[in-house]
Amino acid sequence: MRRWLFAPRTGGFLVFLVLAVALPFVLPNAFFLDVAILALFNASICVGLNLLIGYAGQISLGHAGFLGIGAYASAILTGTFGWPAPLALAAGAAASGLLAFAVARPILRLRGHYLAMATLGLGVIVSIVANTERELTGGPDGMAVEPLSFAGFVVEGEAAWYWLALVLLAATVWLTINLVDSPLGRGLRAVHGSEVAARACGVDTDRYKVIAFTVSAVYASVVGSLGAHYVGFITPADAGFMRSVEYVTMVVLGGMASTFGAVVGAVILTALPQLLSSFQDYEHLVFGLILMLTMIFLPRGVVPSCAALFRRRRAP
Amino acid sequence: MGVEFLQFLLSGLTVGATYALVGLGFWIIHTACGVINFAQGEFVMLGGMATAAFLGLGMPLPVAIMLALAVAVVAGLLLERLAVEPTRNGSVVTLIIITIGASIFFRGLVQVVLDKDFHPLPAFSGEEPILIGGAAVMPQSLWVVGATAAVVLGLWLFFEHSLHGKAVRAAAANLLAARLCGIRVRFVLLLSFGMSALLGAIAGVLIAPISATYYEVGIMLGLKGFCAAMLGGLRSGWGPVVGGLVLGVVEAMGAGYLASAYKDAVAFVIILLVLMFMPRGLLGRGARSERV
């Protein structure tokens, strides 16, 4: 029991849970809670994306596209067609999963910049469609989304949303850290280490990459649906290229191949623009600068770099 | 029908020429150090915006353009020296994030130092359309195509027939061997960033009279240039040129005959299809690209 409790995997998860549960009681007001909810949502996406980027070593510059599919599916199906919210969410997730599964095999054969280009194209196409199909999506102005309701129960208020987002994140983190230690996770890491060697050892590399891509797309879609219900409004920019870049940045900044790194990266990069908004016009300038400096001085990401520092200190 | 086709073809070639210039910028840096510079689009924006700013100060157009190109080149050199050089051994993803950070920084800088407005530049030689086979062509289009042709010729001469150009190609082929032959690799990197910034800024100055310039103009142009480079393949300098022209023409045809609302999507649909079925680009062959 003790060993189980102090293992980095489970212990880290418990520390994370305790911190997250305590957080709403120390936050001074609803504004901070709002930022915290967005951070939790982004963290869920990044944990999934980290499977693909950190573990399998494949980049995706189009994940906001899947988020957009989920968000618009929820918005249109509940708003225009009157579907129940969970069904709309499931439909969006299924659509994202199917699309990801269908394109994954030809796309993930590509490497490096070619893969970056292909995934980028996929995401940009989704946002262009959202921009153009005005009658369905409201075009560039975006569209309002109904509040999340299920069997007569409506999720309302920051507190309720915080717990919902936290449950979602805890579930994704728990699922992911177990996935990473399963044969699937070892397969993914083998793909990252050397695809040729992995294949020579009998690892079906294509299959593992397709799984990572599809799983991360479904995560993004579910978060997209919930996030749209929470914010109550979506625009094509939510599915755009810059948003995809933000998610990749969160993963890389937090630390690749570290599930908690992805969480930390998401929290930092969600909170930072809010703090920087007091700089007003200088916001982008400072944000770009921080991004560059972090990658120059902590190229492995915040969490792995700090962990290495900590370990070196402790060693005699 | 024939005239319409010619009209679309000519406007496609004009836009395609700017894509080719931006794509060549991607290609030069990728050749020299294997980095895809996601700040490439910002050089395009810097070229246009700086020209507009210098014009606003009352300078004549040629002086403003020269100064703007200089500004972009300095930005490119600083980017290489301050951000890319310290992380030369970083992974591809790290470098991608750094250049993305740089592009956000440049956008933020222009937004603060200049403004967020649209700035149309005056056409270089009048607004009187010229008729070619019944199709109307703006003189600015001729400037765009002509200047692009001149730049491509200049680049070809540089890479094939000058010592510095050969040094860049040697460094691209094998960094260590090039260094052993006495080539200053650091200088090659600096040179490639400067040249690529210059190309981007030239594209920005040329296209600004046609489609106005503002601080976010670089995002889409950068992505299209990246498309052009990937479409043609990065194995030789002809890749981005062919890719850019093909992209521009197909885009103009798609917008003209199919759905103009989906003009921007055409490029990305093509690139997806090409990457799925011809993963090395139209002109590409040889080794697969490196992994992330």
C-alpha radius of gyration, chain B, whole number: 19
Identify the pLDDT of residue A181: 82
Residues of B whose CB is below 8 A from A206: none
Domain count within chain B = 1
Instruction: Please check the confidence at residue A98 and state whether its pLDDT lies above 90.
Output: yes
Identify the pLDDT of residue B288: 44
For chain B, the distance separating the N- and C-terminal CA atoms, rounded to the nearest angstrom, is: 47
Nearest C-alpha neighbor of A257 from the set A204, A193, A213, A207? A193
Identify the pLDDT of residue A19: 83
pLDDT in tens, A154-171: 777 778 888 888 999 988
Identify the pLDDT of residue A5: 58
Q: How much of chain A exceeds pLDDT 70, in percent? A: 95
- Whether residue B283 lies inside any domain: the answer is no
Nearest C-alpha neighbor of B138 from the set B215, B240, B57, B210? B210
- Whether residue B219 lies inside any domain: the answer is yes
Q: Which domain holds residue B76?
A: 10-277
CB contact under 8 A, A292 and B107: no
Decide if B97 contacts A269 (C-beta within 8 A). Answer: no
Q: Which domain holds residue A86?
A: 35-314
Identify the pLDDT of residue B1: 59
- Whether residue A286 lies inside any domain: the answer is yes
Residues of B whose CB is below 8 A from A125: 265, 268-269, 272
Instruction: Calculate how close chain B gets to A169, using CA atoms only, in Å.
Output: 25
pLDDT in tens, A100-117: 998 888 888 777 777 888
How many CB atoms neighbour CB A37 within 10 A? Answer: 25
CA distance A144 to A141: 10
Give me chain B's average pLDDT, please. 85
Q: Considering only the beta carbons, identify the residue of A118, A253, A285 that sits closest to B105.
A: A285
Instruction: Calculate how close chain B gets to A120, using CA atoms only, in Å.
Output: 8
**Residues ≥6 apart with Cβ < 8 Å to B124:** B61, B139, B140, B143, B209
Question: What is the DSSP annotation of A225-236?
Answer: HHHHHHHSEE-G
pLDDT in tens, A210-266: 888 898 999 999 999 999 989 888 888 888 888 888 888 888 888 877 788 888 888
Q: Which CATH number do you get for residue B164?
A: 1.10.3470
Rounded to the nearest 5°, which phi and psi values hold at A84?
A: -65, 145
CB contact under 8 A, A288 and B105: yes
- Whether residue A5 lies inside any domain: the answer is no
- Whether residue B1 lies inside any domain: the answer is no
**Residues ≥6 apart with Cβ < 8 Å to A89:** A70, A73, A74, A222, A225, A226
- Whether residue A290 lies inside any domain: the answer is yes
For chain A, the distance separating the N- and C-terminal CA atoms, rounded to the nearest angstrom, is: 29
Identify the pLDDT of residue A8: 59
pLDDT band per the 50, 70, 90 thresholds, residue A95? very high
What's the whole-number mean pLDDT along residues A289-311? 81
CB contact under 8 A, B279 and A114: yes
Identify the pLDDT of residue A314: 66
- Whether residue B42 lies inside any domain: the answer is yes
Torsion of Cα atoms, B79 then B85 then B89 then B93, to 10°: 0
- Whether residue B154 lies inside any domain: the answer is yes
Q: What does the buried/exposed string (b/e) look like for A45-82 if buried means 16 or more CB atoms within 10 Å of the residue's CB?
A: bbbbbbbbbbbbbbbbbbbbbbbbbbbbbbbbbbeeee
User: Both tokens of residue A9?
Assistant: 């995997």
Domain count within chain A = 1
CA distances from A208 to A179, A236, B31, B202 (A): 12, 31, 31, 44
Identify the pLDDT of residue B279: 66
User: In this prediction, does ipTM exceed 0.85?
Assistant: no
The predicted model scores a pTM of: 0.84
- Positive or negative CA dihedral for A111, A116, A119, A125? negative
What's the whole-number mean pLDDT along residues A63-74? 92
Residue at token pair 């301050």: B82
Instruction: Calculate how close chain B gets to A87, using CA atoms only, in Å.
Output: 30
- Whether residue A87 lies inside any domain: the answer is yes
Counting as low any pLDDT under 50, the low residues of chain B are: 286-292
CA distance B250 to B270: 9
Residue of A nearest to B287 (CA): A111
Most B CBs within 10 A among A296, A297, A298, A300, hence the mutation to make, goes to: A296
DSSP H helix total and E strand total for chain B: 11, 2
CB contact under 8 A, A285 and B103: no
**H or E, element range at B104:** helix B92-113
Identify the pLDDT of residue A304: 80
- Whether residue A142 lies inside any domain: the answer is yes
- Whether residue A8 lies inside any domain: the answer is no
pLDDT in tens, B49-82: 999 999 889 889 889 999 999 999 999 999 988 8
